[in-house]
Amino acid sequence: MINEKRILKQNKYEYKSGAVVYWMQRDQRAFDNWALIFARQLALENDVPLFVVFNLVPDFLEATIRQYGFMLRGLKETEAILAENNIPFHLVEGDPTENIPNFVNEINAGVLVSDFNPLKIVRIWKKDVLEKISIPYYTVDAHNVVPAWVVSQKTEFAAYTIRPKINKLLPEFLDDFPEDISVPKHNLDFPEFDLDDVKSRLKINFEVTESDFFKPGTKAGAITLKNFIRTKLNDYNEKRNDPNETAISGLSPYYHFGQIAPQRAALEVKNSGKDDKSVDAYLEELIVRRELSDNFCLYNKNYDSFEGFHDWARATLNEHREDKREYIYTLEEFEKSNTHDPLWNAAQSEVVKTGKMHGYMRMYWAKKILEWTPSPEDALKIGIYLNDKYQLDGRDPNGYVGVAWSIGGVHDRAWTERPVYGKIRYMNYNGAKRKFDVQGYIDKIDRL
Ligand code: FO1
């Protein structure tokens, strides 16, 4: 049922007896979730209960109520879908390195399963949990179509190096999910979590408001996917770089919180019968680029710092450290859309207002931060800070890599040398003007 290569056993313990616990972390959905599918399989084979536990941390990498609200409302829906299938869901609050081992002990669990996440903080949590438990512990990659450790065992240089590896493995891994997630009813249950209560205990910024533009949850994600395929996918190849056109999917928040599976989207897009070039272009973004981001974060612990850039990029940025910057802005000026460039300001306003910046503008936006700050380190810090604060899909491997691509040439190549950027690819206002109606975009954001 599940390809065993999706599963990594993390310790030497063998299963004896007791319930199966799935620590849901990155993939916060009931359906199309290989980690849950595997946990359920273990529960059915051994005729024991299956539990899903989610650990809510009161502050996670400076996330605000915008992201927490989206996540928690999605989890409410997941809780209900799991309940319909007799799977108890338990939300615990605080430190996962205490809570998960405690939960495992309280219910006398016999095995722990979790999904896969390449981010440093989550890997530290998991390592600590691993040290505290003495039952088998499995990680299942429920996020990537091809499991990150299967596609490659090292940092890939660029899309062209990982693409053939992924494509070779797709026939094996782009398989459909089993539909039935139900288990027989067991006695133990947990009270549903109270959304408002839980929110009131978060230690986060409540000023960055929740987005009116994106409705959270698996159902909303599925509708977004359906609409994208029906009305936008045909134009994706031609129009995805035009921020005035809505040819993009708008699915990244749902992928980030695992509310829908990239693999579900890949299957639907592949079988859509839409324009071949557009299907290929979307699958390139959805699979090759996303999985390249996971690869980068998995094998490069400096994925969010200057030290993580390629040698050529660090060398060229170092050579241009002293170049005169025509403009220099503070974090506050950037944050308040207070630069001289109306296009940049519009991009920043777009993400502040909606929770998502258009993909093309993300590149322009980050590159200008490099141009208008005293050093690449400052640029990276500001880029990641603003990305994580306002984007619904902040603090995602895709986000770190997006900023690092723009500022540090990660997965890119050297271009013609110029001030400040060195050989990092340059983008400018006139280039944008040649590609799309810049004033139209500025006006559109103004009206939001
Ligand atoms: N993961 C958790 O396990 N617990 C949390 O409380 C939590 C909060 C959170 C808030 C914002 C956000 O963007 C992500 C958050 N995540 C949380 C992690 C998230 O689900 C992703 O797994 C990672 O950001 C990697 O993409």
Tens-place pLDDT, residues 237-288: 999 989 998 788 999 999 999 999 999 999 999 999 999 999 999 999 999 9
- State the distance from the centre of ligand 1 to the C-alpha of 266, rounded, in angstroms: 23
Residue 1 has pLDDT above 90, yes or no: no
**Ligand 1 atom having least distance to the Cα of 396:** 26
Question: What is the rounded average pLDDT for all residues in the chain?
Answer: 97
Closest C-alpha residue for ligand 1 atom 3:
25
Sheet containing 89-93, strands listed edge to edge, beginning at the edge strand earlier in sequence: 7-9, 137-140, 111-115, 20-24, 50-56, 89-93
Region 279-300 average pLDDT: 98
- Judge residue 128's burial from the number of C-beta atoms within 10 Å of its C-beta, 0-12 exposed, 13-18 middle, 19 or more buried: middle
Residue 444's pLDDT band, with cuts at 50, 70 and 90, is very high
- pLDDT score for 242: 92
Residue 93 has pLDDT above 90, yes or no: yes
Closest C-alpha residue for ligand 1 atom 26:
396
- State the distance from the centre of ligand 1 to the C-alpha of 315, rounded, in angstroms: 34
Pocket test of ligand 1: the residue of 22, 62, 71, 356 to mutate, having most ligand atoms within 8 Å of its CB, is 71
- State the distance from the centre of ligand 1 to the C-alpha of 375, rounded, in angstroms: 29
- pLDDT score for 246: 79
- State the distance from the centre of ligand 1 to the C-alpha of 207, rounded, in angstroms: 19
Q: Is the CB of 265 under 6 A from ligand 1?
A: no
Q: Is the CB of 293 under 6 A from ligand 1?
A: no
Evaluate the CA torsion angle 211, 233, 163, 421 in order and state its sign.
Answer: negative
Count CB-CB contacts under 10 A for residue 289: 18
Count CB-CB contacts under 10 A for residue 178: 14
Q: Is the CB of 68 under 6 A from ligand 1?
A: yes
- State the distance from the centre of ligand 1 to the C-alpha of 288, rounded, in angstroms: 23
Pocket test of ligand 1: the residue of 33, 56, 60 to mutate, having most ligand atoms within 8 Å of its CB, is 60
Closest C-alpha residue for ligand 1 atom 9:
60
- pLDDT score for 370: 98
Residue 89 has pLDDT above 90, yes or no: yes
Percentage with pLDDT > 90 across the chain: 97
Closest C-alpha residue for ligand 1 atom 21:
26
- State the distance from the centre of ligand 1 to the C-alpha of 247, rounded, in angstroms: 28
Give residue 90's region: left, alpha or beta (phi > 0; psi -120 to 50). beta
Percentage with pLDDT > 70 across the chain: 100
Q: Is the CB of 92 under 6 A from ligand 1?
A: no
- State the distance from the centre of ligand 1 to the C-alpha of 194, rounded, in angstroms: 19
pLDDT digits (tens, 9 = 90+) for 366-402: 999 999 999 999 999 999 999 999 999 999 999 999 9
- State the distance from the centre of ligand 1 to the C-alpha of 72, rounded, in angstroms: 10
Closest C-alpha residue for ligand 1 atom 5:
56
Domains in the chain, start-ordered, CATH in brackets? 4-142 (3.40.50.620), 144-176+218-299 (1.25.40.80), 306-446 (1.10.579.10)
Q: How many CA atoms lie within 13 A of 213 on its CB side?
A: 18
> How far apart are the C-alpha atoms of 407 and 401, rounded to whole Å?
10
- State the distance from the centre of ligand 1 to the C-alpha of 55, rounded, in angstroms: 10
Residue 187's pLDDT band, with cuts at 50, 70 and 90, is confident
Its pTM stands at 0.97
Q: Kindly state the tokens that stand for 234.
A: 């045909």
> How far apart are the C-alpha atoms of 248 and 117, rounded to whole Å?
25
- State the distance from the centre of ligand 1 to the C-alpha of 225, rounded, in angstroms: 22
C-beta of residue 81 within 8 angstroms of C-beta of residue 30: yes
Strand 7-9 and strand 137-140: pairing? antiparallel
Q: Is the CB of 55 under 6 A from ligand 1?
A: yes
Closest C-alpha residue for ligand 1 atom 6:
56
Q: Is the CB of 368 under 6 A from ligand 1?
A: no
C-beta of residue 36 within 8 angstroms of C-beta of residue 30: yes
**Ligand 1 atom having least distance to the Cα of 257:** 20
